[in-house]
Amino acid sequence: MRREVIARGVVVSVLVAAVLLVALVLLRGDGTYEVNARIINAGNLVNGNLVTVAGESVGLLEDVELTDDGQARLRLSINSEYAPLREGTRAIVRKRSLSSIANDTIELQLGPDGPALREGDEIPAINTESAVPIDSVLNTFDPVARLAVGKGLKLFRDFNLGSEDRSQAALLFLNPAISSGSRLFQELNASRPELERFIDATAALTTDLSARDDQLAGLVTNLGTTMSALAAERGNLGDSLEQLPTFLRRTNTTFVNLRASLDDLDPLVAASKPATENLAPFLRRLRIVATESVPVF
């Protein structure tokens, strides 16, 4: 009897300890830490959406709130084994399927080894991407455009009939191209003042060019005449170009020989310097004599 009481006491103690352990784990939140993510459009995101890394669930979306500048701030609860996140981590909203509404997930693309994001830090909007709702895409087309798109898809289907595998392999390269284009436009959007100045300068240049269209037309006409004349003389130009290397070689030889001749003239010039000291006064007097001799001759 006493052994049964002891056994029951041990079982009760084990159960109480297990309950306390489960409660402790739940109260501690399984060692999670929270970071925020700024996103332009929260779309169909709701509390409880999964946060994933490479398709594996690593946390939950705890809250969505509106910021003062009209964007959305997501509060993400991340499991401790993935903490801390690093600067450069990207948060991309993806749809798991098109058949339901609130089935979006937030995929994290972990950043490189860099400074850690502390509790409560924020992933900036430049490192986040929103999911585009399918109805937003469809609403951009009017009935005529929808009919044209449908015909285009049928034409694409008929064109790739029998080569679906190769077409599917080619479409795999479409996503990286679109992602690169998206990042390019994000960089352009971040450099909007410089882009606006470039567009203004281009517009001013175009306006100046349009004001001088007559002169530009004359320049283009003259350039066309010059090119036509050169084309008509292409035979002579070809002959000249063929003779140019020979001419340059002979010219080089001439200049080399001229250098030696100039070296030989140096003693003559040195010997002539004493005789030319009184040459200038003599030439001045000779000029007077020549002028007075003109009537005589």
pLDDT digits (tens, 9 = 90+) for 199-237: 888 988 888 888 888 888 888 888 888 888 888 888 888
Instruction: Give me the pLDDT at residue 101, please.
Output: 57
Question: pLDDT tens-digit profile of 75-124?
Answer: 888 888 877 888 888 888 887 765 555 678 888 888 777 788 888 888 88
Handedness of CA 196, 197, 199, 204 (dihedral sign): positive
Instruction: Give me the pLDDT at residue 54, please.
Output: 84
pLDDT tier at 31, thresholds 50, 70, 90: low
Instruction: Give me the pLDDT at residue 133, please.
Output: 65
